[in-house]
A and B are shown apart, each in its own frame.
Chain A
Amino acid sequence: MLRGSSAVAIDNERNKHPSDVIAAASAARARRSGRVGLATASRSTSDPHPAEMATHELHPNDTLTTLKMESENLKAKLEEERAKLHDVELHQVAEKIEALGQFVMKTRRTLKGHGNKVLCMDWCKDKRRIVSSSQDGKVIVWDAFTTNKEHAVTMPCTWVMACAYAPSGCAVACGGLDNKCSVYPLSLDKNENLAAKKKSVAMHTNYLSACSFTNSDMQILTSSGDGTCALWDVESGQLLQSFHGHGADVLCLDLAPSETGNTFVSGGCDKKANVWDMRSGQCIQSFETHESDINSVRYYPSGDAFASGSDDATCRLYDLRADREVAIYSKESIIFGASSVDFSLSGRLLFGGYNDYTINVWDVLKGNRVSILFGHENRVSTLRVSPDGTAFCSGSWDHTLRIWA
C-alpha cells in the first residue's frame, strides 16, 4: 500500500487485476525512489476467477460520514448477533475436565551460530531439522537434534523476517526487507554456492513478514507490510491470487488444516484477524477484538479455531463456527506483547513467546497459565511446535534458538 496521493490512485485502480495493481504500485514506488524496474507479476492465464478485489460501487448518497455511521451500526449489530448464540464460556465447558498436573519443560538444545537477532524459524517435516533467519541476513538450516549446521545462505538484505521449509525438505524460502520471497534449493555439495541457485518468487511493495509453502513445494503464500497477502507459483514466479482487506501491515499467516484445505488466516497491524478463501481471494470472516497489532496466528489442530498473539499482551482463541472470540489468555503480570504462538499436538496447550523474553504456557480449555519458561536473554521472536509434537523451538533476539521438551 502506498500513502499519499498515489494511494487514492491505487484505490481507483482497484478494478484492475491485482497483479496490475501491485505492478502499478511498485512502479509508482520505484519512480518515487528513483529505482528502475517494475516488480513484474504477470497474470496467470489458467485461473478462471480474476480475483474479485472486493470493491464496490459507491451508492448515490454515500458520504464519508454516512458510511462511517453505517459501518459503526453494522459492527454493533454484528457483535449483538455473535453474542446471541454465545450460551456458554469455554472454561465452563472445561470445568469437568481434569486439571493439568505439574508441568516441566526445559531447554534441551541451544543453537548458537547466528550473529544477530533471530527473527523466524520453521521445522522440516523430518521432525528434527529447522531453518532459521536473522537480522544480519543469514539463513541457517540446522539438524536441531545434533545442533549441527547443515546449510547457510547469506541473503542480500538484512532483517530476514520470514523463512519456511519446503514440505519435501529440499528447499527453503525466505525474505524480509528486500520485499521478496526467494526459494533456495538445498544442495549437499559443499562447494556449491546456494545463493547461485536462488529463485525469486514473490514480489511485494513492502517488507515480507511471513511465508509458508502450501501442500507442496510448488506454491507459496506470503504476507507483507504492504497490507496484502498473496499466493505464488514457485516455478514461474506468477501471482496466482492476492488478498486485500487489511488496513495496515499484515504480520502473520497460517494455513488451515481443514479437509478441503482452501482457507488461511492472517493477522495485522490493523488489529484484525482475517480468514480468506484461497480460491476467490475473498475475506470470509474477520475478527477485531485485539487492542493492538496481531503478531502471530495459528490454527487449532482440528481447524475449527485459531489462536492469536498480540502486542496488547494477550493471546486469544477464535472459533470459526461460532464466529467469535471464545477465550482470552492474559494475566496482569504479563505486561509485554506476545510475538508468536503455537499449539501442542492435541491443542490442549498453547505456547506463547513474549517480548519480555519469557514463554508462557496456557491451558487452552481452562484458560489459566500452566507454566512460565525463562531462558532467553532478549525478546522471543518466533516459536513453533515440531511436526510430531515432541518439542517446540523458540528463536530470540538474543541470537539463539532453543529446543524445549
Chain B
Amino acid sequence: PVLGVSPPPPALRPMEQVIVAMQDPDLGIKMKNQRLLITVIPHAMTGNDIVEWLMKKYSIMEEEALHVGDLLVRHGYIYPLKEPRNLVLRPDESPYRFQTPYFWSSQQWPASELDYAIYLTKKNIRKQGQLIDYEKENYNLLHKRINHTWDFVVMQAKEQLRASKQRRKADRIVLECQEQAYWLINRPPVECLTPRLSQRDRGKQSNTKCEHSSRMCPITHITKRTLVEHLKKALGRSRVKSSICLERYYSEQYFSHDPMMHGCPPSNPWITDDITHWALNTNTVSTPTKLRVERWSFRFMELLSDPLGRLKFMEYLEKEFSAENLCFWEACEDIRHGENSRIPQKVQEVYKQFLAPGASKWVNVDSKTMEKTLEGLRRPNRFVMDDAQMHIYFLMKKDSYPRYLKSDLYKNLLVKAIAPQETKRSVFPFMRRHRHSSPNPALVDELTAAPRGYGGCTVSLLQLYDSLPSFNCS
C-alpha cells in the first residue's frame, strides 16, 4: 500500500506502479514551481518532463513515452493545469500535476450523486451561470432527483467555498484542478468519451452486471474436495526437465519458413499486392515450391496436414502397397470429426474395409489393439477407432515416412521444385497493382478446385442446412 491508500485492483496495479515511481523523491520527476499566468503553482512538472522521464526510465522511444504519459492523464493520475478540460499530455512546457491518491480511480469511492451535486453547486455559485451545457443538464437533473437534500447540498457547497477562500491562491487552484479532473473522469460529457479502461470491463458490457457476469462461483465442500483430488493427481504426473523441453524450441529450419522473419518468395502478397506466392502454393499446383517440399521433411504432421503433401505421400505408399494405412487413418479422422449421426454407419464401413478378416484394404493392427477395437464396435462411438488409428499412425511415422523422405519420388520433387527469386522492391513503389479477387471457397472447393454444388456448398453440406429442421430461435 502506498501513501496509505488501499491496494488497487490488478488491472490498475501496473499503472499505479508507474505513478509511484514517477513520484519517487530520488529517482522520480524533479518537480518545480510552474507558472500559470500570474500564479505560481508548486510541485508541478511540464509535459516534456513527463515524456523525458518515461523515455529514460523504461528505455523506450518518444512515441511510446508520449503514449504512456497520455494514458496516465486520461485516467486521472496526472492532470493538466492549463486547459484542465482537455485531458491529454502535451509534450511541451504545459504544466501538470499528480492527482492526489484520494481521487485515484482505483479508490473506487462511489462517485456519489451528493458529491457531484456539491461540486456543481460550488461551480455555479463561484462562476454564476458558467456551467457547461452537459453540466447544466446534470445540475438540473440532480436538483430534481435529490431535491429533499438540496439545502444540505447548498450549505456544504458554501462551506467548502468559504474554506477554500482562506487558502493561498496557488493551493486553491490546485484543489480546483484536482477536483475538476476527478469529475471529468467520473462524469464525462457523453459526446467526448475519451476511450479508457473502466473498472468492470468484460463481457458484461451491458449495464446489468448481475445478469451477465458469473464471476467466482461459490466454493462449496464438493468443489474444494474436487480441487484437492485434482491437485493430488497433478502432483503425481511426470514432468520433464526444463533443459530438455526448452532445447526443442529453437528450430532453425522453421525460421527460414517464417514469412515474417525471412521474407516470402517471390514477395509477400500483402506488401507488394502480387499474389504469385499464393498462386504457387495452392493445393492443385502441379509443381510445389522448394520451401513447401522441404517442410514435409520436418515432421510427419507437416506432411499429413498439407493436402498436396498427403497426396504425394499416398502416391508413394501406393507404390509400396501400403496405401491402405493412410486411407484407414483418413477414414478414422472422418469418424472422429464427422457428423454424430453417421458414426455407426461409418464405423461399420471402416471395419468392413480395413479390419475384417479378408478385408480389401486390410491394415495390420496388433492383436491387443484389435481385440479392444472389436470390443468397442459393439457400441460404436467417435473414439472407437482411436487406438487402431494411433497404432497405424505411428507405424507410418516410424517406417513409411522416413523411407519416403529417402525415396526417389521425394528427391525428385525436391529437385524439380520451384524456388522463386525474392523480387526486389518495385522501382515505382507507389504504383499500386490491381488487387485481384479470388474465388470464394464457398463456391470452389479449395482442395480440388472443383466447383461446389448449387447454392455454394458441397452437396452434403447443402443437404445438411436445407433438409434438417432448423433450430432457429429468432
Contact = CB atoms under 8 A, between A and B. Distances in A.
Nearest to A364: B249
A109 B269 CA distance: 12
A9 to B, nearest CB: 11
Interface in B418-450: 435-438, 440-443, 445-446
B464 A200 contact: no
A345 B197 contact: no
Contacts of B386: 279
A168 to B, nearest CB: 7
B203 A389 contact: no
Given A46-B380, A54-B230, A374-B67, A7 B218 contact: yes
A20 interface: no
B228 A206 contact: no
A187 B11 contact: no
Contacts of A70: 228
Given A177-B206, A322-B239, A389-B260, A3 B218 contact: yes
A95 B441 CA distance: 44
B367 interface: no
A145 B382 contact: no
Contact of A187 (B271, B442, B471): B442
B109 interface: no
A216 B337 contact: yes
B314 to A, nearest CB: 18
Interface stretch (B85-93, B116-124, B168-176, B274-282): B274-282
B24 to A, nearest CB: 13
Nearest to B334: A216
A285 B333 CA distance: 25
A356 B67 contact: yes
B216 interface: yes
B214 A145 contact: no
A289 to B, nearest CB: 13
Interface residues of B, number: 126
B258 A389 contact: yes
A347 interface: yes
B220 interface: yes
A194 B409 CA distance: 46
A309 interface: no
A247 B225 contact: no
Contact of B250 (A49, A94, A108, A159): A94
Contacts of B18: 332-333, 335
B465 interface: yes
Interface stretch (B27-35, B129-137, B154-162, B339-347): B339-347
A326 B242 contact: yes
A168 B458 contact: yes
A78 B231 contact: yes
Interface string A268-310: 0110000000010001011000011100000011101100000
Interface residues of A, number: 160
A105 B261 CA distance: 11
Q: Which of B212, B246, B338, B437 has the most CB of A within 10 A?
A: B246
A389 to B, nearest CB: 5
Interface in A314-330: 319, 321-324, 326
B235 A81 contact: yes
A254 interface: no
A86 B240 CA distance: 9
A99 interface: no
Given A68-B224, A405-B270, A344 B258 contact: yes
B440 A129 contact: yes
Contacts of A301: 254
B190 interface: no
Given A86-B242, A391-B270, A233 B381 contact: no
A231 to B, nearest CB: 10
B140 interface: no
Given A93-B247, A227-B214, A82 B254 contact: no
B220 A11 contact: yes
B17 interface: yes
B242 A345 contact: no
Interface in A35-59: 44, 46-49, 54-59
B197 A100 contact: no
A400 to B, nearest CB: 14
Nearest to B227: A71
B242 to A, nearest CB: 5
Contacts of A259: 300-301, 393
A88 B214 contact: no
Contacts of B438: 126, 128, 143, 145
Nearest to A14: B222
A177 B203 CA distance: 8
Nearest to A37: B473
Contacts of A168: 441, 445-446, 457-458, 461
B437 A58 contact: no
A216 B338 contact: yes
A169 B446 CA distance: 8
A241 to B, nearest CB: 9
A355 B63 CA distance: 17
B368 interface: no
Contacts of A214: 337
A146 interface: yes
Contacts of B10: 291-292, 311-312
Nearest 3 Cβ contacts at the A-B interface: A169-B441, A346-B258, A333-B58
Given A348-B261, A358-B64, 13 more contacts: A1-B217, A12-B222, A46-B344, A88-B242, A90-B246, A94-B250, A126-B446, A195-B474, A238-B340, A334-B14, A347-B249, A356-B67, A389-B258
20 contacts: A68-B224, A81-B239, A94-B250, A105-B260, A109-B270, A126-B438, A150-B440, A156-B474, A214-B337, A233-B340, A249-B203, A311-B11, A319-B242, A321-B244, A326-B242, A332-B21, A335-B15, A356-B67, A356-B68, A374-B63
